[in-house]
Amino acid sequence: MASRLVLLLAAAAVAVACLPAPASAVAWMVGDGGGWRAKFNQTGWADGKTFRVGDTLMFMYARDAHTVVEVGREDFAACNLQANLLGAWNSGNDVVQLDRPGKRWFFCSVPGHCDNGMKLAVNVVGDDGVPAPAPAPESGWWF
């Protein structure tokens, strides 16, 4: 019986060793050395980056000069300062956990800042590397 247990434990160890190593989470400093700043969206900072569930976004900025808010797609596109906020940060050293796949939209809520490009959209992919499906169109057209 003991030899079967040893054999079973050895087989389990081999199976675990063959599993792929989990990807390490990345702490993304938004804007790199320039931080979260005016006209940020014009830098193309997010272009070519793959954001994954488990990663974090670090927003660094002068505390009294900016904010970070998370909003929905329409409020992001319109820079709607009266938006239904999904999240709000104002410490100047904010960390946002990317805890689910799909699109996430952020902007600075100081009047005029979003309109001047202080906004960020990221697409977070799940554990399988596939982004969440796009939401259904709101136009009423269904195919």
pLDDT the model gives residue 130 = 57
List the pLDDT tens digit at each of the 143 positions of the chain. Answer: 545 433 333 333 334 344 443 458 999 999 999 999 988 887 789 999 999 999 999 999 999 999 999 999 999 999 999 999 999 999 999 999 999 999 999 999 999 999 999 999 999 999 766 555 555 444 444 33
* DSSP output for 24-73: PP-EEETTGGG-S-TTGGGG-TTTT--EETT-EEEEE--TTT--EEEE-H
Structural domains of the chain in order of their starting residue, each with its CATH number: 27-125 (2.60.40.420)
pLDDT the model gives residue 76 = 97
pLDDT the model gives residue 93 = 97
pLDDT the model gives residue 42 = 77
Question: What does the alpha-carbon distance between residue 58 and residue 99 come to, in Å, rounded to a whole number?
Answer: 14
pLDDT the model gives residue 39 = 85
pLDDT the model gives residue 21 = 39
